[in-house]
Chains A and B, each alone.
Chain A
């Protein structure tokens, strides 16, 4: 043993571990300090070593395809939106001006949102005085035509649909200092809720994160995060392939990106309460025409535009009926408001709550589900009946048959809900079957409220069960958590003649559940049927007229073969039978009805994906309609090529992704990407260090015993 006790001036972890230990092992506290110091240093060294080796690549580096050319500024982009509303149809023009302020020839790539139910049918490209009209082609063919034109230096542009509400334009060969304008047009049926019309124009990319399951709210920026990761996104030298990474987001700046609005509403009657939800607007009214513009001419496209108005009608609201005749038949659009009974359902309800308590619901999801379920229980009246079924690998019913909502039963239920825990597998089918199998009283309105994150694989089987066993019941689905299988749940609710509600976070539980409970307790207009003059063959799109809840209008789009005249009768069941007759002779002609019919028809066909129709079959059905009716779809795109050569072959072309303006108030959550690192290495390193430390201590001890 060393005899001197003077401490080394060097901190222990800079000395050799063994010496450090020998000195400090004398007192347990010192031993601990020494031991942990060594441990810390080992860990730090390991981390530092790794950091070193990764230094040369930071986030946002796209290193396989970069051509290593000079940095070129992305084109500026100004958007002008012109909306012409006639009755219940809007034709919207979106003019995107790509301004190249650099000295190079560039290609602009831009992803932008449009309303989900828009029918995109026209595009034109303007370069100076030259105007080229876009054509609908098969997607791959359109892309090929565009790429050929790009390579041969011609002005060209293409519009692809990426998702129902997300589109992409690519504009090739914008010369130095040049501006190329692309005008995209779409049609839309204006939404109506309880007599108030509203239309929304999305300006920010819909936040659709790569959904994962693990949500890590606690993740923070550390010193290890490269600075580049905080600002840089995709390399500006990205290639012309549409897709790969999400575009860069930039702070709002109207000099680089801006938008203007010009809305003209001709409702046929005077309007009241014309209001924009998020923007300051000027409203001018002349008789039945209303003109709306933004107060400031241009704004940053950092939040959606929404405009709402109420037509002043006296007495029963008029039915809106339009038609358009083409070679393919007569196309009819009808919107009619059923009488609004401002009262609660008098028939008592029988509510079966089915709740997913599988392992994937663990964490935030199960808390949301519990809160939603408690809210549902609170809406029950003593005359109502209810039960709760939870399922994971197995299922469990709180009450084998529905019981009356007495205070005692409700208290039992609240305890049951509080005790729900998430674990095990997701066996949805037996639980759903059990819910359907519960004895119905006959006097109650059976409502099944199904809460899940929808992590299932046997969708087809579930849909078949719903179809076969629904009977008079209604199925309402509630999607919980960050990544519910919304498509499945929406379709399940449609099949179950109910509605789908999506609760994305615990703050939304109150608002979303209130809206749902309103529907659950309001009269429903069911079994809506249209009776046409006998000789007409009618194809509806969507194929089924769904049940209506309070405040919703009947909207029907149909293609009719044969003559449209005589009377059209609509019937439906509410507390009594509702019937409305509409004379077909004063139907007004309106351009766009055929296009809207085709859009809905295509959506119907695409929905068949959920019921297992093969993609090839869907494609073969959708493609002819899309080409015939000239629509941008999953399989068709708009392409415009101006064959006049523009870019000399000697000049190169830079591909520039036009960034999107960061949505107002948005923060990027770390959430929702799958977590793809395990603590294995950490465990191994810590374990090895501890073993090493034990070995050192052990050796030390032996030496000590010997001496």
Chain B
């Protein structure tokens, strides 16, 4: 190979590396930046507006704010859990109970961005959730499951209202798209929700 050829080859490898690297960083940047943009939309939602889109072409909108003091988590939950929305924030899985209702709600997010903290979540941790009507609810993590989407389904039937946080498992698998999911189930705690946030 000529000197010139080798130089081009090295440059190409380096460029490819930078391209891949920025691809990865882009995902994180988008996840982070989107939450910042959604903050404004959330403030307007709390002020009484309905379905405030964080940016004009958005296909989704914030419906709740999830805080976990112990894990320094402060996230805006989006109205759906489609692939497009999950890039921007955790989303309510459609077909599950509305947040703050008496049923079982499931919120999903990416394990390498917004829900990275799930790995460290311990039973007994308190989650606080503020819904679009301004009400605040307090949940306590009671258990966690690892389930295989090919053989198991999360049941939506609960006597006690629950909030389940769902993400991919294992947390550190390099290749995405595996069949395992991690579900942390939190039960609603009655009575002390008013000063949750």
Within 8 A of A (CB), among B30-72: 50-51, 53, 57-59, 61
Within 8 A of A (CB), among B166-190: 166-168, 170-181, 185
B75 interface contact, C-beta 8 A: no
Q: For this complex, into which size category does the number of interface residues on chain A fall?
A: 35 or more
A57 to B175 CA separation, bound complex (whole angstroms): 19
Residue from the set B3, B104, B113, B181 with the largest chain A CB neighbour count within 10 Å: B181
B23 interface contact, C-beta 8 A: yes
Within 8 A of B (CB), among A35-50: 35, 43, 46-47, 50
A212 touches B148 (CB 8 A): no
The residues of A that contact B5 with a CB separation of less than 8 Å are 28
A526 interface contact, C-beta 8 A: no
- Separation in Å of the A321 CB from the closest CB of chain B? 38
For A213, give its contact among B61, B83, B181 (CB under 8 Å). B83
The residues of B that contact A674 with a CB separation of less than 8 Å are 81-83, 86, 91, 93, 108, 166
Say yes or no: A245-B83 contact (C-beta < 8 A), given A216-B177, A677-B168, A677-B173: no
The closest CB in chain A to the CB of B91 belongs to A674
A418 interface contact, C-beta 8 A: no
The closest CB in chain A to the CB of B80 belongs to A455
Say yes or no: A244-B115 contact (C-beta < 8 A), given A166-B157, A213-B83, A229-B180: no
- Separation in Å of the A518 CB from the closest CB of chain B? 29
Say yes or no: A677-B178 contact (C-beta < 8 A), given A212-B93, A244-B158, A245-B155: yes
B59 touches A425 (CB 8 A): yes
The residues of A that contact B80 with a CB separation of less than 8 Å are 213, 360, 455
B17 interface contact, C-beta 8 A: yes
The residues of A that contact B155 with a CB separation of less than 8 Å are 111, 162, 243-247
B9 interface contact, C-beta 8 A: yes
B110 interface contact, C-beta 8 A: yes
A675 to B5 CA separation, bound complex (whole angstroms): 42
Say yes or no: A210-B168 contact (C-beta < 8 A), given A50-B174, A219-B177: no
B94 touches A485 (CB 8 A): yes
A50 touches B146 (CB 8 A): no
- Separation in Å of the A39 CB from the closest CB of chain B? 10
The residues of B that contact A504 with a CB separation of less than 8 Å are none
A229 touches B113 (CB 8 A): no
The residues of A that contact B148 with a CB separation of less than 8 Å are 59-60, 225, 229-230, 233
The residues of A that contact B111 with a CB separation of less than 8 Å are 676-677
A294 interface contact, C-beta 8 A: no
A406 to B178 CA separation, bound complex (whole angstroms): 51
A676 touches B59 (CB 8 A): no
B157 touches A168 (CB 8 A): yes
A43 to B143 CA separation, bound complex (whole angstroms): 33
Residue from the set A60, A245, A677 with the largest chain B CB neighbour count within 10 Å: A677
The residues of A that contact B96 with a CB separation of less than 8 Å are 210
A677 touches B146 (CB 8 A): no
The closest CB in chain B to the CB of A209 belongs to B153
For B174, give its contact among A426, A681, A692 (CB under 8 Å). A681
The residues of A that contact B16 with a CB separation of less than 8 Å are 690
B151 touches A230 (CB 8 A): yes
A685 interface contact, C-beta 8 A: yes
B73 interface contact, C-beta 8 A: no
A537 interface contact, C-beta 8 A: no
Say yes or no: A455-B28 contact (C-beta < 8 A), given A47-B174, A54-B172: no
Say yes or no: A687-B23 contact (C-beta < 8 A), given A53-B172, A59-B147, A140-B159: yes
A668 touches B21 (CB 8 A): no
B17 touches A680 (CB 8 A): no
The closest CB in chain B to the CB of A163 belongs to B157
For A694, give its contact among B10, B53, B146, B173 (CB under 8 Å). B10
B126 interface contact, C-beta 8 A: no
Say yes or no: A457-B79 contact (C-beta < 8 A), given A674-B166, A691-B21: yes
The closest CB in chain A to the CB of B115 belongs to A676
The closest CB in chain A to the CB of B146 belongs to A59
The closest CB in chain A to the CB of B162 belongs to A243
A158 to B82 CA separation, bound complex (whole angstroms): 37
A2 to B180 CA separation, bound complex (whole angstroms): 49
The closest CB in chain A to the CB of B20 belongs to A687
B197 interface contact, C-beta 8 A: no
The residues of A that contact B20 with a CB separation of less than 8 Å are 683-684, 686-687, 690
A678 touches B176 (CB 8 A): yes
Chain B window 104-123, contacts with chain A (Cβ cutoff 8 Å), 1 for yes, 0 for no: 10101111110100000001
- Separation in Å of the B182 CB from the closest CB of chain A? 9
B17 touches A697 (CB 8 A): no
A50 touches B172 (CB 8 A): yes
B95 interface contact, C-beta 8 A: yes
- Separation in Å of the B113 CB from the closest CB of chain A? 6
The residues of B that contact A698 with a CB separation of less than 8 Å are 10, 14
Say yes or no: A701-B172 contact (C-beta < 8 A), given A64-B144, A245-B145, A680-B28: no
Say yes or no: A213-B160 contact (C-beta < 8 A), given A615-B101, A680-B27, A690-B17: no
B74 interface contact, C-beta 8 A: no
B113 touches A678 (CB 8 A): yes
The closest CB in chain B to the CB of A684 belongs to B24
A211 touches B23 (CB 8 A): no
A572 to B12 CA separation, bound complex (whole angstroms): 77
A28 to B83 CA separation, bound complex (whole angstroms): 41
A64 to B140 CA separation, bound complex (whole angstroms): 13
B27 touches A246 (CB 8 A): no
The residues of B that contact A143 with a CB separation of less than 8 Å are 159
For A225, give its contact among B110, B172, B174, B179 (CB under 8 Å). B179
A426 touches B157 (CB 8 A): no
B57 touches A425 (CB 8 A): yes
Within 8 A of B (CB), among A213-263: 213-214, 216, 219, 221-222, 224-225, 229-231, 233-234, 241-247, 249
B83 touches A60 (CB 8 A): no
B193 interface contact, C-beta 8 A: no
- Separation in Å of the B135 CB from the closest CB of chain A? 12
A50 to B81 CA separation, bound complex (whole angstroms): 27
A336 interface contact, C-beta 8 A: no
A668 touches B13 (CB 8 A): no
A453 to B46 CA separation, bound complex (whole angstroms): 28
A195 to B84 CA separation, bound complex (whole angstroms): 49
B13 touches A697 (CB 8 A): yes
A360 touches B21 (CB 8 A): no
- Separation in Å of the A31 CB from the closest CB of chain B? 8
Chain A window 370-411, contacts with chain B (Cβ cutoff 8 Å), 1 for yes, 0 for no: 000000000000000000000001000000000000000000
The residues of B that contact A247 with a CB separation of less than 8 Å are 155
B176 touches A677 (CB 8 A): yes
A688 to B22 CA separation, bound complex (whole angstroms): 10
Say yes or no: A241-B95 contact (C-beta < 8 A), given A393-B57, A615-B102, A680-B113: no
The residues of A that contact B180 with a CB separation of less than 8 Å are 59, 225, 229
- Separation in Å of the B163 CB from the closest CB of chain A? 13
Within 8 A of B (CB), among A47-97: 47, 50-51, 53-54, 57-65
A210 touches B154 (CB 8 A): yes
A483 interface contact, C-beta 8 A: yes
A679 interface contact, C-beta 8 A: yes
* Sample of 22 A–B contacts (CB below 8 Å): A28-B9, A60-B148, A62-B143, A210-B95, A211-B95, A225-B148, A231-B151, A241-B159, A242-B158, A243-B159, A425-B57, A455-B80, A669-B150, A674-B83, A677-B110, A677-B111, A680-B25, A681-B174, A684-B25, A687-B24, A694-B14, A698-B14
Q: Pick the 3 closest A-B CB pairs, nearest first.
A: A687-B21, A690-B17, A683-B24
* Chain B residues within CB distance 8 Å of chain A: 1, 3, 5-7, 9-11, 13-14, 16-25, 27-28, 50-51, 53, 57-59, 61, 79-84, 86-87, 91, 93-96, 101-102, 104, 106, 108-113, 115, 123, 142-160, 162, 166-168, 170-181, 185
Given A162-B157, A676-B166, A698-B14, 12 more pairs with CB closer than 8 A: A27-B1, A43-B174, A50-B174, A139-B159, A212-B81, A214-B83, A360-B80, A668-B149, A676-B168, A680-B28, A680-B113, A694-B14
